[in-house]
Amino acid sequence: MLEYTEKIREISQKLLKDSKVDMVIGFRKGTVPMMNEPTFIRNANEVGQLIWDSNCGINLANYLTGRKEKIGIVAKGCDSRNIVVHLVENKVNRDNLHIIGVPCKGMIDRRKIGVIYGEEILNVVEDGEKIVVEGDGDEKVYDKKDVLQENCAICIHRNPVIYDELVADLVEEQKDVDRYEDVRKIESMPPDEKWAYFEGLLKNCIRCYACRNACPLCYCPTCFVDESRPQWVGKSIDPVDTRTFHFLRAYHCAGRCTDCGACERVCPVGINVRAFTKKLEKDVKELYDWEIGLDPNVRPPLDVYKTQDPEDFIK
């Protein structure tokens, strides 16, 4: 990862020095284990703050929304796909972007490692494909592939789909991945079990909206849950309102979600938020053979009308 970091700094320094961009958006080292903080660098002398490792799971496309400056942005596969979504949805101008592509081998799951290590973690070091965890218990070494975020473990677009330069050679994409094993499991449940599953999923929700706010797709000027004239959704933690929020948000992301996993990563109470969006991703794949965020010149199926549409209801 050190090579990635050095290359990101080198590219960023050049971009800033040559005034090609006003700022570079990337990550700086976090203050607690397995956390990095999204940051911006305006001064070429400060590029030393930028780093790259397996704790860069936040989707940086979220920081582009509505910005007018010329921006250099560090983008792994999913970030780049969300940049494409932003381009398609006119949230950012391609001419203002210099995309520093990062071929990615997945981000590690802080929560999962916390659970399997069991004690307080004081430091985590990456050593190639190994993750070394130091803490109150004995030092433990895990294979990175065993502690990946779930969305990374089944990712089929690790390489940036759009970029101006790359920090390293492209990595091999994962083949023969079964992306929807978990969705099929839920689909096969009888209704009452399904109901109980989703009820259980949301029992800890505190309506903090971290999932929504970490999502690059959620850029509505006023979210439907914040609308007050009229108010659509109650603001208490009544389960009906909590469900309304999660279900509707998922539908708003149908055919747009890249499964970057930011929503799940940021949830402070460990809700498996992707359980909502993935079913819709699967449906869109099966109904329209569509994967979002691969081509900025093609509009997604749910926002186009075609006269030759085979479905009767639309005619």
Site residues (vs another protein, CB under 8 A): 30-32, 35-40, 58, 62-63, 111, 114-115, 120, 122, 136, 204, 206-210, 212-214, 226, 228, 234-238, 265-266, 268-270
Q: Which is nearer to another protein, 48 or 268 (CB)?
A: 268
Distance between CA atoms of 60 and 39, rounded to whole angstroms? 9
Q: Which is nearer to another protein, 62 or 277 (CB)?
A: 62
- Least distance (Å) between residue 67 CB and another protein: 11
Partnered with residue 141 across adjacent β-strands are 132
Q: Which is nearer to another protein, 3 or 270 (CB)?
A: 270
- Least distance (Å) between residue 119 CB and another protein: 10
- Least distance (Å) between residue 208 CB and another protein: 4
- Least distance (Å) between residue 63 CB and another protein: 8
- Least distance (Å) between residue 283 CB and another protein: 27
Place of tokens 């990635």: 4
Q: Which is nearer to another protein, 38 or 301 (CB)?
A: 38
Long-range contacts of 154-157 (CB under 8 A, 24+ apart): 154/178, 154/179, 155/77, 155/78, 155/104, 155/106, 155/259, 157/77, 157/78, 157/81, 157/258, 157/293, 157/294
Ranges assigned E (strand) in the chain = 23-29, 36-41, 50-51, 71-75, 97-101, 121-127, 130-135, 140-143, 165-166
Backbone angles phi, psi at 299, to 5 degrees: -85, 145
- Least distance (Å) between residue 40 CB and another protein: 5
**218: phi > 0 → left, psi -120 to 50 → alpha, else beta; which?**
beta
Contact (Cβ atoms closer than 8 angstroms) between residue 51 and residue 29? yes
Widest CA span in the chain: 66
Distance between CA atoms of 88 and 69, rounded to whole angstroms? 19
Q: Which is nearer to another protein, 91 or 265 (CB)?
A: 265
Q: Which is nearer to another protein, 109 or 161 (CB)?
A: 109
Q: Which is nearer to another protein, 134 or 164 (CB)?
A: 134
Distance between CA atoms of 214 and 211, rounded to whole angstroms? 5
Backbone angles phi, psi at 67, to 5 degrees: -80, 145
- Least distance (Å) between residue 54 CB and another protein: 15
